[in-house]
Amino acid sequence: MSNTRFALLGMLLFAVLFASEQLVTNQYVFFVGYAVLQYVVLATAWNILGGYTGYVNFGTAAFFAIGAYVSVAVNKLYHPPLPVLILVGGTASGLIGLAMGYLTLKLRGVFFSISTLALAIVAQAVITNWAFVGGSSGAYVIRPRFGPYGGPFIAYLFTIMLVMAIAAVVLARSIERSKTGVGLAAIRDDEGAAEAYGVPTLRLKLMATVVSGTLMGMAGAPLPFYVAYLDPPSAFNLSVAVNTIAMPLVGGTATWLGPVIGAVLLSLIQQAAMVTISSAVNLLIVGLVMVGFITLAPNGIMGLLKKRRPAQ
């Protein structure tokens, strides 16, 4: 399927889901849906660098929280519409990704991962000491009662996240199938050889980091309106980073579909566990599922499905 047709299919999916929003009377559905879609964006974004390129990023929380906090700061100054906040938050995280890429992409394997972890810690320290956005005591954001086109505001947030999720997946798929995608896969398989054959490895890695960081920041920008109260420990929560790594691993990192399956599956399980068991059991479930997949299906659900099919 061509990129255009896939994008049209995405728009069709959006139209169907958007139309069915009118039928939903229980707002809780939107709260759950938002959380699931947010993880679709994060997992897809992570996979561009972690799955396609093979650079494991432990700093998802940093990009996500920077998007959220830039959104808080800009909102405090100007009150622009939400899409503007998303663009500003995404740009900020993309720039952080560019800077981090320049400093760390010469590092390979586990050394790169450690430096992304360090980024998350440094960013949290900076935000905790930034009084304008509430510092350690957190920031309150008043969630409007209604969205700009009527309906509850949470339905508006859900719609926005839906657009981002579809856009992120369309983008990831087009990268995967482009010349750039083959270049990224070559870096993942053997970076030294890719370089020897004239693949501009640093440029491609920087591109992947920037795209990945931007999408994560965009996913974080509406967060203050979703939670209404944002403090550093929750914005930089370990669960964001762990979930974002677990989801592509569970779904499969080689294609765009893997992170989507992983994100939907894991976040639905977590949402169900939250209401039926307890909210603290979330990460335990993720941990168990991750251990199970790493030992039994290292290539994720997509890998299992592929095995079933006869080889070409």
Partner 1 sequence: MSSITISHLYAGYNKVHVIQDLSMNVGDGETVALLGTNGNGKSTLMRCVMGLLRPYEGSIKLEIDGLSHELVGMETEEIVSLGIAMVPEGRRLFPRLTVEENLTIGAFRTAARPALARNLEFCFEAFPRLRERRHQLAGSMSGGEQQMVALARALMSEPRVLLVDEPSVGLAPLFVTRTIEKIKELKESRGLTVLMAEQNFHQALKIADRGYVIVEGEIAFEGNSAAELNDNELIQKFYMGV
Q: Rule CB under 8 A: which of 197-216 touch partner 1?
A: 197-200
Name residue 146's beta-bridge partners.
152
Nearest to 65 by CA among 87, 95, 89: 89
Nearest distance in Å: CB 254, partner 1: 8
Stretch that binds partner 1, among 16-24, 125-133, 179-187, 224-232 (CB under 8 A): 179-187
Q: Give the C-alpha separation, 229 to 282, whole Å.
A: 21
Residue 188 in contact with partner 1, rule: CB under 8 A: yes
C-beta of 76 vs 306, nearer to partner 1: 306
Stretch that binds partner 1, among 139-147, 154-162, 163-171, 189-197 (CB under 8 A): 189-197
Q: Give the C-alpha separation, 234 to 253, whole Å.
A: 27
Residue 309 in contact with partner 1, rule: CB under 8 A: no
C-beta of 67 vs 183, nearer to partner 1: 183
C-beta of 151 vs 303, nearer to partner 1: 303
Residue 189 in contact with partner 1, rule: CB under 8 A: yes
Stretch that binds partner 1, among 1-9, 19-27, 126-134, 194-202 (CB under 8 A): 194-202
C-beta of 60 vs 253, nearer to partner 1: 253
Nearest distance in Å: CB 185, partner 1: 6
Distances (CA, A) of 159 to 35, 147, 166, 194: 12, 10, 11, 41
Nearest distance in Å: CB 139, partner 1: 44
Residue 190 in contact with partner 1, rule: CB under 8 A: yes
Residue 192 in contact with partner 1, rule: CB under 8 A: yes
Q: Rule CB under 8 A: which of 248-277 touch partner 1?
A: 254
C-beta of 103 vs 182, nearer to partner 1: 182
Residue 196 in contact with partner 1, rule: CB under 8 A: yes
Compute the Cα dihedral for 280, 282, 21, 221 and give only its sign: positive
Nearest to 92 by CA among 248, 218, 222: 218
Residue 144 in contact with partner 1, rule: CB under 8 A: no
Nearest distance in Å: CB 182, partner 1: 5
Residue 5 in contact with partner 1, rule: CB under 8 A: no
Q: What is the size of the binding site for partner 1 (CB under 8 A)?
A: 19
Residue 95 in contact with partner 1, rule: CB under 8 A: no
Nearest to 66 by CA among 276, 200, 167, 215: 215
Q: Give the C-alpha separation, 291 to 250, whole Å.
A: 10
Residue 195 in contact with partner 1, rule: CB under 8 A: yes
The residues, any chain, with a CB within 8 Å of residue 109's CB and separated by 6 or more, are: none
Binding stretches for partner 1 (CB under 8 A): 179, 182-183, 185-186, 188-190, 192-200, 254, 312
